[in-house]
Chains A and B, each alone.
Chain A
């Protein structure tokens, strides 16, 4: 299989023709994910971590917990920050340097799912109101790019948060003192992102790299555990009809429930 992201016209046509007949080049059905593998807690130095393989896409997420100042408009809440790194070892297309728009978009879509589903009980992460709170740093590290980074990253982020522990502490004279022992990070909801690509009028879930090259546009829906939508992002320079948007939402909602079982129940 090719590692180049330029897809020849013949291959482009082949991908589109197969999809028109309900098939895909890698043998999957249109609404079938690639094989998903999840490894948890593999980085001991991080308070939480997980590695997700989605076919040949590999994403590692590390969660670090720090203590810092809350946002001035939310003095009683912990802080969540999501960052992503498209490191050059992951793809011939990635270059070192400050984060580009791809990487910023990836981090912000993962962030939106976690934040809007109120997955982390941030109000339980306040240490001294207005002064000291826990800061949860979620760092998405892409190790091999073979398409659909959003879904892989969102799953890895959730899996990592689910095994994140925060240290015990006591407050002495306004200072935070670390005490032995840990407790789990309060995770209340399990947001799952599902991405679909539009190729020649058809919708396919979990596009791999060649399909991303061929697709007109993609759309990501994140769902909370109640099946409510908690984030949406359309990407790519094509468009969806209104009917396609609603169909994509229905497919995504079904797939999200399946994926959630894998991530949460493991």
Chain B
């Protein structure tokens, strides 16, 4: 893949570099239960993003001194494959990956009934196989499905989506070029049933009014993806049901 240089991020007809409208998500494909060894797993494609998430646990925590007496320890590793980006990325965790692992963990923690599993660990691994902008959001969307697939009780699914400012417009779900060339990016993770924002970050610059628009748009995007999440989860359960009935 070679990067094209775009003269304008929004053309005369208001279309974006990939032909989308300002409030349009990229095509999303989600599959739940894709890995055998993991207790729960899921896969998402969002634009050219290809991301796998796997959950192990609740299981015994190692090293044991990390265990918490009143709840489970959630550990999260967001990691990019060396071949996932234009220029090979060193497989060692970068400062960016360490920060994202932390904010993703804190985005998912409010959803999980961690207090049901004291002295255990829940390990969550997110592998970015191909990155196309918005990997932390797609990573959260797919990770909460992996948690659900592992049978871990949750208050709601966590769904994430970004909005941002590109070529003077507030747009939904920025791709790689828009993220890099645009003016601002606001990733948000959300639990729709609880009206709970569990991750919020921003880089770039926005006025307070633009920020409010971006938050509303990102939450609207979250609601759309939330439906796809639930459909993917249902498809998984129907497949299991069918398997059981055939036996």
- On A, residues with C-beta under 8 Å from B are 101, 104-105, 107-108, 112, 115-117, 217, 219, 224, 227-242, 244-246, 249-250, 253
A104-B98 contact given A219-B200, A238-B110, CB 8 Å threshold: yes
Could you say which of B101, B191, B196, B198 contacts A101, with CB atoms under 8 Å apart? B101
Give the total of B residues in contact with A, Cβ under 8 Å.
33
Do most interface residues of chain A lie in helix, strand or loop, or is the interface mixed? mixed
Could you say which of A104, A108, A236, A240 contacts B196, with CB atoms under 8 Å apart? A240
Give the number of A-B contacts (CB < 8 Å).
Answer: 92
Could you say which of A105, A239, A250 contacts B102, with CB atoms under 8 Å apart? A105
Do most interface residues of chain B lie in helix, strand or loop, or is the interface mixed? helix
Interface string of B87-131 (1 = CB under 8 A from A): 000000001101101110110011000000000000000000000
Q: Is the CB of B197 within 8 A of A229?
A: no
User: Which of chain B's residues have a CB closer than 8 A to the CB of A230?
Assistant: 203-205
7 residue pairs bridging A and B, Cβ less than 8 Å apart? A104-B99, A227-B207, A232-B201, A234-B197, A237-B109, A242-B215, A250-B208
Question: Please, how many angstroms separate the alpha-carbon atoms of A219 and B215 in the complex?
Answer: 15
Question: Please, how many angstroms separate the alpha-carbon atoms of A107 and B205 in the complex?
Answer: 19
Question: Please, how many angstroms separate the alpha-carbon atoms of A242 and B220 in the complex?
Answer: 12
Q: Which residue of B lies closest to A105 (CB)?
A: B99
Q: Which residue of B lies closest to A102 (CB)?
A: B102
Q: How far is the CB of B62 from chain A (nearest CB, A)?
A: 18
Q: Is the CB of B202 within 8 A of A232?
A: yes
Q: Is the CB of A241 within 8 A of B196?
A: yes
User: Which of chain B's residues have a CB closer than 8 A to the CB of A228?
Assistant: 205-208
Q: Is the CB of B206 within 8 A of A234?
A: no
A224-B205 contact given A238-B110, A246-B215, CB 8 Å threshold: yes
Q: Is the CB of B202 within 8 A of A245?
A: no
Question: Please, how many angstroms separate the alpha-carbon atoms of A249 and B200 in the complex?
Answer: 12
User: Which of chain A's residues have a CB closer than 8 A to the CB of B196?
Assistant: 239-241
Question: Please, how many angstroms separate the alpha-carbon atoms of A16 and B199 in the complex?
Answer: 23
Q: How far is the CB of B42 from chain A (nearest CB, A)?
A: 22
Question: Please, how many angstroms separate the alpha-carbon atoms of A101 and B96 in the complex?
Answer: 10
Q: How far is the CB of B139 from chain A (nearest CB, A)?
A: 16
Q: Is the CB of B215 within 8 A of A116?
A: no
10 other A-B residue contacts (CB within 8 Å) besides A116-B204, A227-B207: A104-B95, A104-B99, A105-B99, A112-B203, A219-B200, A231-B202, A232-B202, A238-B110, A245-B215, A246-B215
User: Which of chain B's residues have a CB closer than 8 A to the CB of A232?
Assistant: 186, 200-202
Question: Please, how many angstroms separate the alpha-carbon atoms of A253 and B211 in the complex?
Answer: 12
Q: How far is the CB of B144 from chain A (nearest CB, A)?
A: 14
Q: Is the CB of A229 within 8 A of B206?
A: yes
Q: Does B219 contact A (CB under 8 A)?
A: yes
Q: How far is the CB of B108 from chain A (nearest CB, A)?
A: 9
Q: Does B168 contact A (CB under 8 A)?
A: no
Question: Please, how many angstroms separate the alpha-carbon atoms of A230 and B203 in the complex?
Answer: 6
Question: Please, how many angstroms separate the alpha-carbon atoms of A224 and B206 in the complex?
Answer: 10
Q: How far is the CB of B214 from chain A (nearest CB, A)?
A: 10
Q: How far is the CB of B136 from chain A (nearest CB, A)?
A: 12
Q: Does B194 contact A (CB under 8 A)?
A: yes
Q: Is the CB of B103 within 8 A of A235?
A: yes
Q: Is the CB of B205 within 8 A of A229?
A: yes
Q: How far is the CB of B2 from chain A (nearest CB, A)?
A: 15
A245-B205 contact given A101-B101, A234-B106, A237-B109, CB 8 Å threshold: no
User: Which of chain A's residues have a CB closer than 8 A to the CB of B105?
Assistant: 237
Of A117, A224, A234, A235, most B-chain CB atoms within 10 Å? A234
Q: Is the CB of B212 within 8 A of A239?
A: no
Q: Which residue of A lies closest to B187 (CB)?
A: A232
Q: Does B195 contact A (CB under 8 A)?
A: yes
Q: Which residue of B lies closest to A191 (CB)?
A: B205
Question: Please, how many angstroms separate the alpha-carbon atoms of A189 and B215 in the complex?
Answer: 25
Q: How far is the CB of B200 from chain A (nearest CB, A)?
A: 4
Q: How far is the CB of A226 from chain B (nearest CB, A)?
A: 8
Question: Please, how many angstroms separate the alpha-carbon atoms of A264 and B201 in the complex?
Answer: 26
Question: Please, how many angstroms separate the alpha-carbon atoms of A123 and B206 in the complex?
Answer: 22
Question: Please, how many angstroms separate the alpha-carbon atoms of A235 and B205 in the complex?
Answer: 20
